[in-house]
Amino acid sequence: PKSPTFSDIALKSIDDFVMKGGNLMMFLDPCFLQPENRFKEFVVGIELGLEPLLSSYGLRLNKHLVQNFTCVRQELPTGGSLDGLSLEQTRQPELKDLLWPFFGLFDADPGHLTGQLDAPILTRYASTFDIKHRRPGIEYTPLLTTSPYVNYFPEWNTISLAEYARDSFALSSFEGEQGVVGYLLEGEIPSHYDMMTKLNGVYRTSTAKVMLFADGDMVRGGLGEMGLNSTSEEEARYGNRDFLRNCVEYILGEEDMIIQEATLRKDVYMDTERLSRTRSKWLWINFLTPLLSLLCMGGLVYYIRKQRAL
C-alpha cells in the first residue's frame, strides 16, 4: 500500500463532511503482512495519513496485531511435525487445521444497542485504539474489545508459523492488557482542520457520531448464508453482518430497528434450534410413512382377493 494512504486533501474532505453534520464510520488496518516464504510473514506498519485526524479526536491507532486467546482454527502450512522444529527443513509441507490467534473472536458490548447479537465477531489481524486524551464534549464508548487474555505482536517483526504449530495454547502465556478494537464517539466532534490552523484555540465542533474500528477485514466478503464464514471451522456462524447492520442503523438514528431485528433474530435462531432437534424424527416419519402405506394397501388387496376366492 502507498504510504500515507490518505492525503491532506482527503483529511480536509472528511473533516468538512463531519462539520456539516455527517456521521462517520471507518475500518482501518495500520499493518499489512509481507510474505517472506511459505512459513514466515513480516508485519509492516504503514502511515495511513489519518493519524492527525485521530489525534484530534483524542485517539491513537496502535501499530500491532492482536493475538486473542479466543480464536478460530485456520489451515496453515506445516511439515508434519508440531514440536516446534524448523518447518523450513521439511520437504513436503502440508496444511493442518490449527488455532490461529490472529483470527480472534470478540464479543460486542451487550449493554449497547450495537451489541445485540447471538454470535461472536470474527476479526483478522486486528489492531487496537488507545485514548491519548479525552476531548471535552465527546463520549467515548468501547463497542468491540479483545478478550481478557491477549498478546500484541509488534510491527516490523516476523510471524513464524513454527511458533504456532501446535493445537493449543497456555492461558498463562496471554499476558497483555485487554484492548479496544472499536470505539464510538458521540457528542461535539472537533474540527481537525481548525485545530491545526487556528492558533487561538477556537475551533468549530459538530454534533455527530463517529465509529472507528481497527480491522478492515470486518467488512470483507466471504460470509455465506446465515452469516456462515469460510474458516476451517465448518458451519461456524459469526455476528459480523448483524453487528455491522446494527452499527449502520445506530449511526443513522434507527435504534428501534435494532431492537426489532434483534428480537426477530432470536426467534429465528430458536426456530432453527427446534428444527434441528426434531430433524431426525421427521426424517424417519417421511421415510416410514410411504412404506407403511404400501404395506397397508398390499394387505388390503390380499385380503379382498382371499375373500373373493372363498
Domain spans in the chain, listed from the N-terminal domain onward: 8-253
What does pLDDT average to in each consecutive run of 10 residues of the chain (310 residues)?
76 94 94 83 91 94 95 77 46 74 92 89 95 94 95 91 72 90 96 84 89 90 49 69 90 74 56 59 78 86 79
Is residue 123 within 8 Å of 147, Cβ to Cβ?
Answer: no
What pLDDT does 224 receive? 47
Q: Is 43 helix (H, G, I), strand (E, B) or coil?
A: strand
pLDDT at 227: 45
In angstroms, the CA 175 to CA 65 distance is 14
Three-state secondary-structure class, residue 231 = coil
pTM, to two decimals: 0.76
User: If you search the block for the grid coordinates 488455532, which residue do you land on?
Assistant: 99
Cα–Cα nearest to 213, from 233, 235, 184, 242:
184
